[in-house]
Structure 1
Amino acid sequence: MKIVISGGGTGGHVYPAIAIADAIKVLEPTTEILFVGAKTKLEMTAVPKAGYDIIGLNIGGFQRKFSVYNVALVFRLIDSLWKSFKLLRSFRPDAVLGVGGYASGPVLRVAAWMKIPIYIQEQNSYAGITNKLISSHAKKIFVAFENMDKFFSTSKLMLLGNPVRSSLSNTINKREAYSFFNLDSNKRTIVVLGGSLGARTLNREIANSYNLLSGLNDVQLLWQTGKMYWDEYKSHPVSNLPHVKALPFIENMDWLYAISDVAITRAGAITISELAVTGIPAILVPSPNVAEDHQTKNALALVRQEASLMISDNEVEGKLLKVALDLLNNESLRHKMKINLAKISKPNAAKDIAMEILKNSKV
């Protein structure tokens, strides 16, 4: 069997795709898998690192106002459609899975024209425009949130959850994890995550909280600034506090979750799924800079189930760490959140999606 997986652009699209590919290979080791991504984007390095081949398309997203870039993008889109056609005609896949992102659209569109079975994996609680446009041609649409029938046909929907990295199911030696991050195993830990690039609002608030942080005795902070902001904060007084560990990026997320008592993070769909699988109580700060404000919708889905707290981006100043410390000291609330996170957790999402694709695409 041959399968094409298309999409990417951000970790929220790329890492679920890799998790599904890994699950497919476990179930059917002889399956040939080819990724298609957007040139210059994360997938062009992350996918080969995971052991898979990838082809890049010269494609990007439309800007919401008229620009010369949009005019040029029309020609790049035509070129991507033509390359997608040649790729699919040559590789002859039995199925195509779209995970969202720039490269997903052209490949899914051409696959539909060629009558190749297509599948969609929508990570967010608010469907992306590419997935909405192509959904009528999909055999199955895999989602992670309830009430997605407002975007997609009920007959195609399958609520299977978001795939998370397989390492999260590993048994972690917590003492080794504390040692890895050079943290104290006798102190409670708050982690701050703004994504691989970082979050300006979160970083600014941590940096402005020196007085509060310097007075903590039994609490430590693991702070991922993001690569974009590392130079700005690596020598900041907060970063130099003995109980604060600042890093530009953290790859060993399984170790991070193992020592986390409370998380402060954006509300990307995959982050939320990982919090659910690992049972980490969190304060979610949705990014205001995403399409259709989908991170707020993601966060509200957890807040309504009393599984997380939420603070709007414009309400963070002077409030964020105080709320985190209050949650850290409220053992009963954290216990309640852990129970509710377990209820919505879907740790087998990658395997379940892989099984559906293989079952419905047998040749």
Structure 2
Amino acid sequence: MRVIITGGGTGGHVYPALAIGRGLQAARPDIELLYIGTARGLEADVVPRSGLPLVTINVRGLDRRRVWKNIPALVKTARGLGEAWLRVQRFHPDAVVGTGGYVSGPVCLAAALQGIPVILHEQNAFPGVTNRLLAVLARTVCLTFPEAASRFPRRTRLVTTGLPVRPEILQADRENCRRELGLQPGQLLILAAGGSQGARSLNEALLPLIKDLAGRPDVSLLQVTGRRDYDDYRQQVQARGIDLDKSGNITIKPYIYNMEQALAAADLVIGRAGASFLAEILARGLPSILIPFPYATANHQEYNARALARQGAAKVILDRELKTGRLYRSVMELLGAREKLQAMATAAASLGRPGALEAIVQVVMAAVEHRGRPS
């Protein structure tokens, strides 16, 4: 059995693709996988580290704001389609799985034109343009959010599977992780993270909260600032008279490598609304306050966040509202109403899909089996 996996540019496309690859390997140890990406995207660094073979094609995304600059990109995409055709033809896969990003377009199109079943995975509540265009050629489109269904062509075969979550997220033991972080029994942990690069507006909005929470025995705050802002932010905290070494309950870090530990120990999460991050907090049944990244393509993070809020699992605060003190008020409200926090946690757990990976693997296997049946 041979399967091509493609998707690239950002972690939102690459990490689900890698998770699907690992799931397929677990289900079929004899499987041969090939990842097709670009030499410029995140996949060029991450995929080889995962152990999957990577080949690249030359393709570039379109500039949606400056349309006149897209002629070179279209020329490169046309060449990339030819390269994708040859890559697919030489590998001769039984199926192709695409997770979005501009590299996914030529690869999935080449596969469909060669009669190879294409399975797409859409991470966001507002689908990306690549997946929307490819949907008419796909055997099945796997959705993370059911809200995305209305934005695909009417005859698209859709199935809501959820988004694959890393096994370590699901397996982390809450009590062990809390002990490792030095938390006391009954102490509530707030985890605030603005993504791998951090979020300056979110960091600044947390300053008043840090001042009021410092020294409280019932609450602990673990904040991830991002490496870029870490040193400057610590100075801002100290300028407000907060001694981080003596507060006892405020921890500020530039980055967290063991996010699974922090999520397992947390009681409330504050962060952006990328699909992978949301899948992780839902899998752990965590209530959240979400601040969508305002410059995300097609504003898809706000659509993601609103999908959770409609089900009672999250509160949504827009980035421009951070300066109004709304984040401070929302956190303090939840700290004073633990029953509301618990209701949000229950709603989050009901939305989590820990079996997402298995569901997607089954879709891929079914496509391969269907292709192999005699007509």
TM-score > 0.5, shorter chain as reference? yes
Superposed, which structure 2 residues align to 1:44-83 within 5 Å?
Answer: 44-66=44-66, 69-83=69-83
Q: 1:41 to 1:197 in 2, by over 3 A?
A: farther
Point out the more displaced range, 114-123 or 231-240.
Answer: 231-240
1:280 and 2:257 correspond: no
Q: CA offsets per residue over residues 276-310 of structure 1, 9 Å max, x none?
A: 11011110111111122211111111111111111
Q: How much does 1:77 deviate? A: 1.4
Q: How many residues align?
A: 361
Give the alignment of 1:57-206 within 5 angstroms. Answer: 57-66=57-66, 69-152=69-152, 153=154, 156-172=157-173, 174-176=175-177, 178-179=179-180, 181=181, 183-186=182-185, 187-206=187-206
After TM superposition, give the deviation of residue 348 of structure 1 in Å: 0.6
Q: Which residue of 1 aligns with 2:36?
A: 36
Deviation of 1:62 after TM superposition, in Å, equals 1.4
Using the TM superposition, give the Cα deviation of residue 177 of structure 1 relative to its aligned residue in structure 2, in angstroms: 5.2
- Note closer, same or farther for the CA distance 1:327–1:59 as it changes in structure 2 (3 Å cut): farther
Distance in structure 1 (CA, Å) of the matches to 2:262 and 2:26: 26
Shift, 1:198, TM fit: 1.8
Aligned-partner Cα distance in 2 for 1:166–1:78: 38
Larger Rg: 2
Task: Go from structure 1 to structure 2 and tell me whether the alpha carbon gap of 1:227 and 1:46 turns closer, same or farther (over 3 Å shift).
Answer: farther
1:251 aligns with 2:265: no
Residues 94 and 361, structure 1, Cα contact 8 Å, conserved in 2 = yes
1:320 aligns with 2:327: yes
Q: The residue matched to 2:237 in structure 1 has which SS?
A: coil
Identity of aligned residues (%): 33
Given the alignment, which residue of 239, 244, 260 partners 1:241? 244
**Alpha-carbon offset, residue 210 of structure 1:** 5.0
What secondary structure, in the 3-state scheme, does the structure 1 residue paired with 2:159 have? strand
Higher helix residue share: 2
* Post-superposition CA distance 1:174-193 (Å, at most 9, x none): 345553x5x43353211111
SS at match of 1:97: strand
- Residue number in structure 2 paired with 1:301: 307
TM-score relative to the length of structure 2: 0.89
Q: Is the 8 A contact 1:95 1:116 kept in 2?
A: yes
- 1:230–1:71 CA distance, 2 compared to 1 (3 A): farther
Task: Indicate yes or no: 2:40 matched with 1:16.
Answer: no
CA distance in 1, matches of 2:156, 2:79: 34
Q: Which amino acid aligns with 2:143?
A: V
* Stretch of structure 1 that moved more, 257-266 or 4-13: 4-13
Q: After superposition, what is the alpha-carbon deviation per residue over 1:24-56, rounded to whole angstroms, capped at 9, x for unaligned? A: 111111111111223232222222222212223
| 1:261/1:328 contact within 8 Å kept | no
The two structures, once aligned, show a CA RMSD in angstroms of 2.2
Mapped partners of 1:288, 1:299: distance in 2: 12
Query: For structure 1, which runs of at least 5 residues remain unmatched after alignment?
Result: none
Quick check: 1:174–1:255 contact (8 Å CA) kept in 2? no
Q: Out of 352-361 and 146-155, give the one that drifted further.
A: 146-155
In the alignment, which residue of structure 1 is the partner of 2:274?
Answer: 268
**Aligned-residue offset at 1:207:** 4.2
1:165 corresponds to which letter in structure 2?
R
Question: Does residue 335 of structure 1 match 2:316?
Answer: no
**1:163, CA displacement in angstroms?**
1.0
Contact 1:193/1:265 (<8 A) preserved: yes
Give the TM-score normalised by structure 1. Answer: 0.92
Structure 2 contact 172–261 (Cα < 8 Å) conserved: no
